[in-house]
Copies of this chain bind each other. A is one copy, B any other.
Amino acid sequence: MTDARTTAQDQVDALEEVPPSLVQTVRDDLEHGRIEAIRAAVSDMSPAGVAYLLEQVPREERTQLFGILKRDLDPETLVELDDAIRDTVFEELDPSEIVEAARELDTDDAADIIEDLSAAEREEVLAGLPAADRAAIEETLAYPEGTAGRLMQRALVAVPDTWTVGEVIDHCREARDLPDDVYDLFVVDDQRRLVGAISLGRMLRTKRPVPVRDILDPEIPSIPVSAGQAEVAHVFRDQNLVSCPIVDEENRLLGVIMVDDVLDVIDEEAEDDLLRLGGVAQGDVHAPVIRTTRQRFWWLLVNLGTALLASAVIGQFEAELQKIVALAVLMPIVASMGGNAGTQTVTVAVRALAMGELTVANAARFVAKEVAVGGANGLMFAVLVGVVTWVWFHDLRIGMIIAAAMVINLVAAGLAGTLIPLGLKRAGIDPAVSSTVFLTTVTDVVGFVAFLGLAAIFLL
């Protein structure tokens, strides 16, 4: 039993293609110039594994390592690399080497890596490619980033709606450059308008003389080329798709998006929301210190504005603070609890907005619920903090004042935590970016004004 379990754990560990110990081994090999050992260690790795290894070592070693590996590098590795790391790696490549890599890639992937080059390098690389590839890549780059047009690949199997199953199979057997990852065949009319799709499983089970028209699924979803990537992810998620045809306004078949590209989109969208809520930019991990410092500076500057506003509010109560120092000691509690409760609400609202679960249809109910939750928790914490304060400062009145302020601020947090993201969304601003700043402004101001204001009225 123990034995079997160990095996299972080993299997799970083996899923980690590049464990930290392997990274360390490669770094040691690098230090001691054991180039063949490195080549051997890397030879079986997937492109994602090699990319991960390059990301894990420090910059100088990465340059060295890339120099050793570039001779037999799978071009897919360049696609898998983080943008910031890819920039540093490209400095080690001649344009002619980038051309060679781009030739071997799908045009959507080639467009991805070419996009990051300087305008001059981009020209040079494009000029080195065969005319058909160059045209396809330029067309891809003409679609805005983050749209279906940019995500799609052009390589697909489209057959006329007049063919039979046998003709399709013969076509597949003869064509040499069929993409490997075909799961559906698309059927088009003489205007290349999408008529339907046939899954390969269906093809395989059908006799040769049957016309494709008889077995195609006419109700397959298609996505317009101008759709945003979040919508693309939505469609794949809701319909459990593996591939989806992309069409223009006249329903003409332009390309296909595969589910593995959608996995990347979903990761990216989820990461965006998470990082924006935390006030950081995408790609932060691999960015150099100076860029990270600069990117984060602006978020902190906005927050400094909030903090100074809070201080200005407190400054209005200098007289009270001077008379009752307990107020200064206690005042951060109400503001901090409001900030935390409001962050809970904002987090739920931002995620629900991103997933399409929060809409105008149920917004009123959502706000009402959050205010109720704020009120309920406000009452519980009011009792708790009121008693603690009473015992600590032997003053029932301060306890009652902080309790009242707590209820007020947690209800305000529920209101602000819902109305701010909903309002930003309506104004066309990404609620993940700015909701928390506005929220803490509200909870700080309401928290300090409620507590110190009530104290000014009832204690002095």
Q: CA of A446 to CA of B265 in the docked complex: distance in angstroms?
A: 40
Q: Looking across the interface, which residue of chain B has its beta carbon closest to that of A251?
A: B11
Q: Decide: A274 and B227 in contact? CB cutoff 8 A.
A: no
Q: CA of A52 to CA of B234 in the docked complex: distance in angstroms?
A: 12
Q: CA of A432 to CA of B384 in the docked complex: distance in angstroms?
A: 27
Q: Decide: A12 and B201 in contact? CB cutoff 8 A.
A: no
Q: Decide: A201 and B226 in contact? CB cutoff 8 A.
A: no
Q: Does A336 interact with chain B (Cβ within 8 Å)?
A: yes
Which single member of B223, B315, B340, B373 contacts A289 (CB below 8 Å)?
Answer: B373
Q: Which residues of B contact A352 (CB under 8 A)?
A: 285
Q: CA of A199 to CA of B203 in the docked complex: distance in angstroms?
A: 13
- Known contacts A314-B332, A325-B318: does B260 contact A359 (CB below 8 Å)? no
Q: Decide: B297 and A377 in contact? CB cutoff 8 A.
A: yes
Q: Which residues of B contact A274 (CB under 8 A)?
A: 270, 273-274, 277, 347, 351
Q: Decide: A337 and B307 in contact? CB cutoff 8 A.
A: yes
Shortest CB-to-CB span from A301 to chain B, Å, is 8
- Known contacts A12-B226, A200-B201, A263-B266: does B335 contact A332 (CB below 8 Å)? yes
| A-B pairs with beta carbons under 8 Å apart, 24 shown | A8-B226, A11-B249, A20-B360, A23-B361, A46-B239, A48-B239, A180-B199, A180-B201, A182-B201, A183-B242, A236-B260, A263-B266, A274-B274, A275-B351, A279-B347, A280-B344, A285-B358, A292-B373, A293-B376, A297-B377, A300-B340, A314-B328, A321-B328, A325-B328
Q: Decide: A343 and B376 in contact? CB cutoff 8 A.
A: no
Q: Decide: A333 and B304 in contact? CB cutoff 8 A.
A: yes
Sorted nearest first, the 8 A-B pairs with minimum C-beta distance are A278-B347, A270-B270, A48-B238, A11-B224, A328-B328, A200-B200, A240-B260, A23-B361
- Known contacts A200-B204, A260-B240: does B365 contact A58 (CB below 8 Å)? yes
Taking chain A's interface residues, is the majority helix, strand, or loop, or is none over half, making it mixed? Answer: helix
Q: Does A253 interact with chain B (Cβ within 8 Å)?
A: no
Which single member of B236, B285, B304, B333 contacts A263 (CB below 8 Å)?
Answer: B236
Within 8 A of B (CB), among A379-399: 380-381, 384-385, 388
Q: Does A205 interact with chain B (Cβ within 8 Å)?
A: yes
Q: Does A231 interact with chain B (Cβ within 8 Å)?
A: yes
Q: Decide: A303 and B337 in contact? CB cutoff 8 A.
A: yes
Interface centre among A58, A260, A306, A352 (most CB of B within 10 A): A260
Q: Decide: A369 and B289 in contact? CB cutoff 8 A.
A: yes
Which single member of B204, B275, B335 contacts A347 (CB below 8 Å)?
Answer: B275
Which single member of B12, B238, B262, B315 contacts A224 (CB below 8 Å)?
Answer: B12
Interface residues on A, range: 35 or more
Shortest CB-to-CB span from A191 to chain B, Å, is 16
Q: Decide: B356 and A15 in contact? CB cutoff 8 A.
A: no
1/0 contact string of A94-116 vs chain B (CB within 8 Å): 00000000000000000000000
Q: Decide: A361 and B24 in contact? CB cutoff 8 A.
A: yes
Q: Looking across the interface, which residue of chain B has its beta carbon closest to that of A271?
A: B351
Q: Decide: A300 and B346 in contact? CB cutoff 8 A.
A: no
Q: Which residues of B contact A12 (CB under 8 A)?
A: 224, 226-228, 231
Q: Decide: A46 and B357 in contact? CB cutoff 8 A.
A: no
Q: CA of A234 to CA of B376 in the docked complex: distance in angstroms?
A: 41
Q: Decide: B235 and A359 in contact? CB cutoff 8 A.
A: no
